């Protein structure tokens, strides 16, 4: 992916450019990896129907809680820890890796037993139980994963390369060896193969850089770090409750097919949300380094907010208008109802990216408990909405509950960031992107009926050209485009 610099007149661009370079490398690799992984899920949906797809996504939704427990909050706190002091890679990182290996292995055994137990009790069909059990084994690869060390070094290239290799292996195995619905339990086993390749690649790459790390077991050394990380773990688990409670409610209050159709739309949103998370990790490392330089800190914060909005608003506008074509392109006619759900869920994107920027600002400022408390309130709100809306309205109620919750979370996060003396980003940083998105909407509205890929291209071209005409993109001969929002 071409590298685009982010700049603002009169500012020191070094932090912004560093964040931009790392984001583009990380997001580019993450996008490729997630597209590859998404193709595996789409293959299951198209070949075996909403029921099988719903079983796979339900197991994945449950597993996400255990994945974040296995990470022990290090994928956020560890980035800041390494970016503040590189010597910690050899002094502290081995003990952190050792502790995570122990935690991930214990949790893998727990989830494996949980899947078999739910199947034995009749709470899940036998195939669904085996799928959940085998997904539990993928937790083993989380413990030794050194992604957080590479990001703390502000070098996201190894992460991008490793993710692409691992997810590609996963896709090849799924396409080659999953031919019927009864073979669905093979999917998580192939995911484990891909995840193991990712962890191995990152570890070898780190050693090739000259860092002689190994697994070590020193609880006294890591205890203070884990004590600081638990609010982040709790925050992520609470956040996952918001993201996954709708799918889990639908699975038990409705059926596999309904949850599968909802998951088909949410799968596309998850892909976009993870790109926002990729930017957040790049932003965290850069913001941590300038945390005590008020002017540079605020400049980087404003640039991040404006950049994320510039990326999110055209996606929300375009995907909501082209949702039917997107669902038809990716899935079969069985998923037609998913188009309306996608049109609603995609509007969570502007709120989600705004919230992510403020959450990272709070983490960089050491306000982990504030982040946790904020998310806890949002979880309670989301549960009430799901209980009120899903029984009468099904997946439509779930979609509106998710949208309302993300709007509330964004508002609370912005208020908390103001309390930490981050200044409100002015409307002047957003109007160019908003006008360009409006122009794109007009073009899509009056275009004749076209193939969805052509329509996406026309919309993207309109957005880019109008943004450039307004000065939001700077084009110079012999130089890469610069985003000026």
Q: List, for residues 361-412, the tens digit of each pLDDT value.
A: 887 777 877 877 887 888 888 888 988 898 888 889 999 999 999 999 899 9
pLDDT value, residue 278: 64
Percentage of the chain surpassing pLDDT 90? 32
Residue 369 shares a structural domain with residue 441:
no
Pairing assessment for the beta strands 5-6 and 482-483 based on DSSP bridges:
parallel
Q: Are residues 364 and 409 in the same domain?
A: yes
For residue 2, is it within any domain?
Answer: no
Residue 6, pLDDT score: 36
Considering the domain architecture, whether residues 402 and 293 belong to the same structural domain is answered as: yes
Higher pLDDT, 474 or 284: 474
Q: Are residues 223 and 295 in the same domain?
A: yes
* Domain ranges, residue 237: 11-429
Q: Is residue 1 part of a domain?
A: no
The answer to whether the CB of 98 falls within 8 A of the CB of 72 is: no
Q: Which of the two residues, 3 and 414, has the higher pLDDT score?
A: 414
Radius of gyration of the chain, Cα coordinates, nearest whole angstrom: 22
Q: According to the per-residue pLDDT averaged within each range, which of 36-50, 77-91, 221-235, 418-432 is highest?
A: 418-432
What pLDDT was estimated at residue 23?
Answer: 53
Cα–Cα distance measured from residue 138 to residue 336, given in angstroms and rounded to the nearest whole number: 32
* Contact assessment for residue 315 and residue 352, using Cβ atoms and an 8 Å cutoff: no
The end-to-end CA distance of the chain, in Å, is 20
Number of domains in the chain: 2
What average pLDDT score do residues 431-445 get? 95
Residue 6 falls inside a structural domain: no
Domain membership of residue 138 (yes or no) is yes
Same domain, 402 and 446: no
Q: Are both 233 and 370 inside the same structural domain?
A: yes
- Last residue of one domain, picked from the residues 409, 429, 449: 429
In this structure, are 458 and 355 located in the same domain?
no
Grouping H, G, I as helix, E, B as strand and the rest as coil, residue 61 is helix
Model confidence at 21, pLDDT cuts 50, 70, 90, reads low
My answer on whether 202 and 54 are in the same domain is: yes
User: Mean pLDDT for the chain?
Assistant: 83
Instruction: Please indicate, yes or no, whether residues 101 and 234 belong to a single structural domain of this protein.
Output: yes
Cβ of 156: how many Cβ atoms within 10 Å?
A: 25
Claim to verify: residue 137 and residue 127 sit in the same structural domain: yes
Of the three residues 382, 405, 429, the one that is the final residue of a domain is 429
Predicted TM-score (pTM) of this structure: 0.66
pLDDT score of 49 more than 50: yes
Residue 120 lies in a domain: yes
- Is residue 5 domain-resident? no
Query: In this structure, are 410 and 447 located in the same domain?
Result: no
66 within domain boundaries: yes
Among 394, 414, 429, identify where a domain stops. Answer: 429
Q: Is the pLDDT of residue 28 over 60?
A: no
Same domain assignment for residues 327 and 447 = no
């Amino acid at each position: 992916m071409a590298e685009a610099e982010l700049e603002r007149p009169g500012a020191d661009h070094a932090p912004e450019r560093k964040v931009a370079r790392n984001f583009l490398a990380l997001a580019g690799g993450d996008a490729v990896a997630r597209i590859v992984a998404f193709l595996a899920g789409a293959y299951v949906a198209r070949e075996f129907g909403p029921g099988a797809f719903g079983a796979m996504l339900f197991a994945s939704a449950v597993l996400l809680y255990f994945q974040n427990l296995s990470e022990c909050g290090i994928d956020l706190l560890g980035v800041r820890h390494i970016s503040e002091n590189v010597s910690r890679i050899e002094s502290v990182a081995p003990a952190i890796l050792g502790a995570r290996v122990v935690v991930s292995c214990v949790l893998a055994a727990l989830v494996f037993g949980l899947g078999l137990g739910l199947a034995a009790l009749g709470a899940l069909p036998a195939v669904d139980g085996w799928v959940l059990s085998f997904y539990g084994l993928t937790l083993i690869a989380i413990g030794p994963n050194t992604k957080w060390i590479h990001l703390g070094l502000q070098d996201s290239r190894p992460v991008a390369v490793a993710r692409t290799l691992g997810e590609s292996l996963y896709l090849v195995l799924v396409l080659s060896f999953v031919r019927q619905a009864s073979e669905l339990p093979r999917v998580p086993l192939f995911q484990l193969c891909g995840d193991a390749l990712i962890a191995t690649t990152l570890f070898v790459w780190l050693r090739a850089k000259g860092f002689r790390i190994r697994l070590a077991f020193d609880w006294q050394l890591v205890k203070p770090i884990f004590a600081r990380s638990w609010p982040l773990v709790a925050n992520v688990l609470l956040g996952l409750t918001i993201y996954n409670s709708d799918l889990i409610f639908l699975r038990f209050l409705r059926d596999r097919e309904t949850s599968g159709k909802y998951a088909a739309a949410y799968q596309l949103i998850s892909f976009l949300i993870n790109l926002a998370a990729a930017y957040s990790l790049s932003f965290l490392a850069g913001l941590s380094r300038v945390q005590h330089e008020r002017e540079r800190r605020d400049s980087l914060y404003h640039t991040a907010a404006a950049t994320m909005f510039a990326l999110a608003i055209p996606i929300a506008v375009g995907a909501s208008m082209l949702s039917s074509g997107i669902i038809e392109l990716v899935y079969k006619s069985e998923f037609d109802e998913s188009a309306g759900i996608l049109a609603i869920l995609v509007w969570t994107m502007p709120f989600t990216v705004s919230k992510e920027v403020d959450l990272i600002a709070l983490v960089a400022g050491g306000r982990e408990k504030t982040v946790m408390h904020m998310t806890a309130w949002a979880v309670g709100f989301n549960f009430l909405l799901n209980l009120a809306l899903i029984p009468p309205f099904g997946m439509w109620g779930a979609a509106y509950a998710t949208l309302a919750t993300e709007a509330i979370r964004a508002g609370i996060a912005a208020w908390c960031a103001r309390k930490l003396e981050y200044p409100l980003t002015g409307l002047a940083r957003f109007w160019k992107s908003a006008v360009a998105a409006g122009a794109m909407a007009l073009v899509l509205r009056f275009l004749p009926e076209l193939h969805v890929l052509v329509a996406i291209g026309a919309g993207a071209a309109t957005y880019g050209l109008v943004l450039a005409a307004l000065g939001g993109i700077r084009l110079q001969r012999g130089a890469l485009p610069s985003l000026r929002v």
